[in-house]
Amino acid sequence: MINIDWKKLVFGYTKTNYNVRCYYRDGKWGSLELSSSETINIHIAATALHYGQEAFEGLKAFMGKDGKVRVFRWEENAKRLHRSAEGILMAPVPEELFQKALFKVIKHNKDFIPPYGSGASLYIRPLLIGSGAQVGVKPANEYLFVMFVTPVGPYFKEGFNPVDIQIVRDFDRAAPLGTGHLKVGGNYAASLRAGVRAHDEGFASALFLDAKTKTYIDEAGPANFFGIANGKYITPDSTSILPSITNMSLQTLATEMGLHVEKRHITLEELAQFEEVGACGTAAVISPIKKILDRDSNRVFEYCKDGKAGPISTKLYQTLQGIQFGDIEDKYNWITFVD
């Protein structure tokens, strides 16, 4: 019997029973293996270790009131992993293999899906790595695709309570023509120093600006940024941010709520005009932001003056989570049931 205090879960790793693995060798994918080991055996010259040839994904499964398990928009994660693989010359994972792995790993870890009402969910982490040996800077000719799961609570300890974030100029997460639009490990390595410093200085996350001109909002650490002003949902258009599936879904919901969606450059000056701002992603869902500090000028932008998330962010959050947990009709076919 497992013994987890679901309500106290944070966003972290909890050991589960199984993970699944599949190897790409001799130009083809092999069979999908179920494993109870938490480790992988890897060649010391694997390209993932030396040259960062690796990509990952993050998606969630939710337990509904009806006892059914719902996965949110997995096809979009499969497509994004495909783009990441192509972007750094790895063997792409076919959509059927992604789906097979997903269903298998969830079914074999059913006991780890947090119960309805706990607010927690099952985070699914697909990982694709160059496992073949190279010493020259070249793509591997062997790959390993792994999928593991872990039950999680909120990404930021504040949950849906507003957080403070910090604008940084002395670090970039990704270059305009780099790999910021792909979910590859190097972007996260590049974001660590700014992220850890932000935490140490009392902020939930760093807010990166566009690397070239430092004039526009790029990404809020591991999440996309959005602002609400005058009936508009505004989110950055940038080649260096990850196209967030949560953000894409919020844009649909915002349109349905009668908001006008704008995807365009957002200047720092505009931060003063927003009525609400937030960070969004699979892990965070929506994290309302109450304060943005410009670390260089000390300028402060404040929101949520009553200490609570604004009405539009709240409605977007409740609608998205309602669909994910099965309390609100899934009009857009975002949910796949796993039985």
Q: Which does 245 bind (CB under 5 to 8 A by kind): ligand PLP, ligand COI, none?
A: ligand PLP
Distance between CA atoms of residues 7 and 1, nearest Å: 18
Q: What is the dihedral of CA 126, 55, 12, 218, to 10 degrees?
A: -130
93 touches ligand COI by CB under 6 A = no
Contact status: 153 vs ligand COI (CB under 6 A)? no
Q: Could you tell which of ligand COI, ligand PLP, none binds residue 224, using a CB distance below 5 to 8 A set by kind? A: ligand PLP
Confirm if 235 and 241 have CB atoms less than 8 A apart: no
Could you tell me the smallest distance in angstroms from the CB atom of residue 53 to ligand PLP? 18
**What's the CA gap between 270 and 280, in Å, rounded?**
19
For ligand PLP, the closer CB: 140 or 245: 245
The Cα–Cα gap between 294 and 98 comes to 41
Q: Which residues contact 260 (CB under 8 A, 6 or more apart)?
A: 231, 232, 233
Please list every residue from 187 through 226 that binds ligand COI, using CB under 6 A: 222-223
Contact criterion met (CB below 8 Å) for 71 and 107: no
Burial category of 232 from C-beta neighbours within 10 Å (exposed 0-12, middle 13-18, buried 19 and up): middle
Residue 121 binding ligand COI, by CB under 6 A:
no
Nearest to 172 by CA among 131, 135, 219: 219
2, exposed or middle or buried, with CB in 10 Å at 0-12, 13-18, 19+?
exposed
Task: Report, in Å, the least distance between residue 122 CB and ligand COI.
Answer: 13
Question: Could you say whether residue 58 binds ligand COI (CB under 6 A)?
Answer: yes
CB of 294 to ligand COI, least distance (A): 23
CB of 280 to ligand COI, least distance (A): 8
**CA–CA distance, 175 with 308 (Å, rounded to integer):** 34
Active site residue 308: no
H/E stretch holding 191 reads helix 185-200
Binding residues vs ligand PLP (CB under 6 A): 58, 219, 222-224, 242, 244-247, 281-282
Question: Of 183, 263, 291, 331, which is the active-site residue?
Answer: 183
Minimum distance from CB of 241 to ligand PLP (Å)? 6
Q: Is 186 in the site for ligand COI (CB under 6 A)?
A: no
User: Which amino acid would we find at residue 336?
Assistant: T
The listed partner (ligand PLP, ligand COI, none) that binds 84, CB under 5 to 8 Å by sort, is none
At closest approach, how far in Å is the CB of 221 from ligand COI? Answer: 8
> Toward ligand PLP, which CB reaches closer, 131 or 247?
247
Residue 142: DSSP 8-state: -
Total residues at interface with ligand COI (CB under 6 A): 7
Nearer to ligand PLP by Cβ, of 58 and 154: the residue is 58
Environment class of 196 (CB within 10 Å of its CB; exposed 0-12, middle 13-18, buried 19+): exposed
- Per DSSP, 305 falls in state T
281 binds ligand COI (CB under 6 A): yes
Distance CA 62, CA 64 (A): 6
The one of ligand COI, ligand PLP, none whose footprint includes residue 166, by CB under 5 to 8 A per kind, is: none
- Confirm or reject binding of residue 154 to ligand COI (CB under 6 A): no
Residue selected from 85, 283, 304, 312 as contacting ligand COI according to rule CB under 6 A: 283
Q: Measured from the CB atom, is 55 or 140 closer to ligand PLP?
A: 55
Residues marked as catalytic = 183
Interface ranges with ligand COI (CB under 6 A): 58, 222-223, 281-284
